[in-house]
Structure 1
């Protein structure tokens, strides 16, 4: 009987900068430690990718795909169909956020045999063992499968300590393909924890891990960082954790370990505004000394009412306070905002614009990005969205066009979305340019002249709140369509 498991990361879209397939690498380590051969194929870095995936699947106990809601579904469906067409006896297994939240709908497709829900390390190993032994799949936490016409939905798994699993198997990938110019010339994504104990209304993480959180020990994190820096030339890390800063004790120990080992590495991570405010001053300074140069924070809205609605447990003043703290420390802050919550009044654009102006007044290099609320399966606000008229796709493939940049909710007027796109994503960045745009403005030549003219025009429009006859915005949209 085969001792091989094939793991596949489907394409999101054709990208020049691709991050390492960390979700599958987290699965691959325990599966390989259990005695199985693992072939990991990342469809984003292979063109064409289907022939290599089929070759990896040949003779495998199963093929596991990690799939997020949205555009990744389209490629995952194509891969799954091709596997079933060419290798009908090889089980196709879906894991990740989407299948975890909608296992029955996922299993309704004839090209998917099994679903792994939630944290998958333990289930992936037990699945390989059962399939190798020809045993039934009943009773494995997290495993859902078909028995004839029946869909068997297994018990949702509890979070287990991830420190028990082997080191991240970077040898399974060509690491050079995942070096991205970002904080450094050779920046890598890095995974050190799973879950988040908070419950933001728009986030499916709440259901994925049940508001639990588990992390690698500080010593293990520092050891893996040292390996990447000393043996692979990594000079910067972007922590992929949903919330890296849950444990102050762990954060302190990681930072002290980086400094004690003399690791010359910059890093970035996500943090909640309240968390960073509540850290003692010495811990914030230690975080900077250990190489933290960028933080991603969910500001979400300039409306206190909206923040309360989504369970954010923070305030607009907290956002501005964090901006000032980051500025004093020399840490670049990136903020996200979100529009289109149920019942959101149009005046929230103005409130959020004022908040952005407050952030930019602290430091023009701070970035603010805008998104639209999308009712993801498993998010606390998902059922409310359905009650208010959102109609979720009735088939798996219908979720392929689902993301945070398009409208999916009937209560948002398209004209409102266009105004948000125009004000927040077009005029505001020109009015308060960050370092990249300022560099273009200072480069000289016709393009620099155009950028400077747009800066002056956008500054006037934002300052006077006059967005009538936005000819320059219309030109930008037409050029984008032609591309």
Structure 2
């Protein structure tokens, strides 16, 4: 395997016992402390990216341990001493960039001889931004790269560009994540986001990428716009297994866009309706489903919620954000969703470079008219490789760029103050940042300014911010 990759190997159908089994440790960095980031935190679902890679490696006969520090910090020294990995893989996303840098240093101090591979959204978007302690950086899908590296392949280049040239064509041939890695952990197993009490709710990723072109989103830079997916039959087979093995009561399809192919959605609904069990489900969708037949079938098969980035209620705002949607289409969607008791959780990325105050006002009027089940408003922050972030950088509209590649604008700061409660941890971070830059710009180099790490909120303020966030969430429902 040292000369070339076997990229065309089919995935075996069963676990293959082998004498040359490798031990692969997959990990993610700890959650950033409150007050140290301008980005919001996730809702602590199991890490599907690591899960897919783990299952693929296990199917090829290798042993995998997942150490998810994002859920709860672990003693990596103890984990490595006990497991003795042959290779390690690190998931990197932009919100956790600085914590990942710390983890890279820690891993290399504990086991400098063990190859370390970085992947995930941040590594795919900015591969040359990954710290030098990482031996290999994988862009795009990681299953085959991790398998080949585990089995001895050593490329001459540090960055393995897997995003465009090596996309998996038939996802049905590949395993879903093995939930044995996750079921005994304190992840979010509920559906409180949609006002439901069912548990356990299992997270599924059944497709990759998104064919649309929203200006604020960097997904296409990770995957290209080529959308690939598991078939409806394969999805329901997996749900069958979750119900039988774990007592699954719900499924949350947390991918970029579950409803890209409505024929696939309908087929899945037909299969679920035929099943002897009942599960509720929700998914990420566009607000463009205007077929009464489709939404009725979704509801009958158990759909209770749709997570939709509507982004604007203004015709001009939707055009500027390249949503390929109109307010009229969204009105039909909301009317039909309510008819079939499907709760729509609407999110909005507000304050993009071309968004006007008039457009923001029209959006609030639209929200008052359609009355989503819940609304979450986020201030636009220029994260790497989106069309809007490139516009901000090209036109020098930012006052600061940090080591993670995030561009901070006056508009972001103003929108954050408008949208978030006064004790929100993001505002605490921005105030720290303002004071630091005022005191040190001109005294420190741009690289030193970019690399600065901010202090966490004092515990009493962090507790108050957490309580405020929970109250805001309940008010949004």
Match of 1:169 in 2: 178
1:296 aligns with one of 275, 288, 307: 307
**SS of residue paired to 1:126:** helix
1:115, distance to aligned residue in structure 2 (A): 0.6
SS at match of 1:273: coil
Contact 1:17 1:180 in 2 (8 A): no
Relative to structure 1, the CA distance from residue 343 to residue 247 in structure 2 (aligned partners, 3 Å threshold; closer, same or farther) is: closer
Structure 2 unmatched ranges of 5 or more: 1-19, 34-40, 425-460, 469-477
* Counterpart pick for 2:322 among 302, 308, 311: 311
Deviation at 1:94, TM superposition (A): 0.9
Shift of the alpha carbon at 1:57? Answer: 6.4
Equivalent residue for 2:213?
Answer: 199
What is the aligned partner in structure 1 of residue 409 from structure 2? Answer: 410
* Aligned: 1:20 with 2:39: no
CA distance in 2 between partners of 1:61 and 1:392 (Å): 44
The answer to whether the Cα contact below 8 Å between 1:11 and 1:43 also exists between their aligned partners in 2 is yes
User: Given that residues 311 and 348 in structure 2 are in contact (C-alpha distance below 8 angstroms), is that contact kept between their aligned partners in structure 1?
Assistant: yes
| Matching residue of 1:5 | 24
CA RMSD in angstroms, aligned pairs only: 3.0
Map of 1:335 onto structure 2: 346
Aligned partners of 2:160, 2:235: CA distance in 1, in Å?
37
Tell whether 2:108 aligns with 1:89: no
What residue number does 2:167 align with? 159
Aligned position for 1:116: 138
The equivalences for 1:41-440 within 5 A come to 41-55=67-81, 58=84, 60-70=85-95, 72-106=96-130, 109-131=131-153, 136-138=154-156, 145=158, 156-160=164-168, 161-175=170-184, 177-178=186-187, 180-182=189-191, 183=196, 184-274=198-288, 276-277=289-290, 280-360=291-371, 366-390=373-397, 396=403, 398=404, 408-412=407-411, 414-421=413-420
Gapped regions of structure 1 (runs ≥ 5)? 139-143, 146-150, 403-407, 426-475
CA distance in 2 between partners of 1:409 and 1:393 (Å): 5
Aligned residue for 2:16?
A: none
Deviation at 1:166, TM superposition (A): 2.5
Q: Could you tell me whether the CA contact under 8 Å between 1:10 and 1:44 is conserved in 2?
A: yes
1:25-69 Cα offsets, whole Å, 9 max, x none, are 1111111222221111111344444334433663x2321111111
- TM-score, structure 1 length as denominator? 0.75
Paired residue secondary structure (2:94): coil
Task: From the CA coordinates, give the structure whose radius of gyration is larger.
Answer: 1
Relative to the length of structure 2, the TM-score reads 0.76
Match of 2:59 in 1: 33
Preserved CA contact (<8 Å) 1:193 1:216: yes
Residues 117, 157 of structure 1: 8 Å contact kept: no
9-18 or 323-332, larger mean C-alpha shift: 9-18
Three-state SS of the structure 2 residue aligned to 1:130 is coil
Deviation at 1:388, TM superposition (A): 2.3
Corresponding pairs, count? 399
In structure 2, the residue matched to 1:452 is none
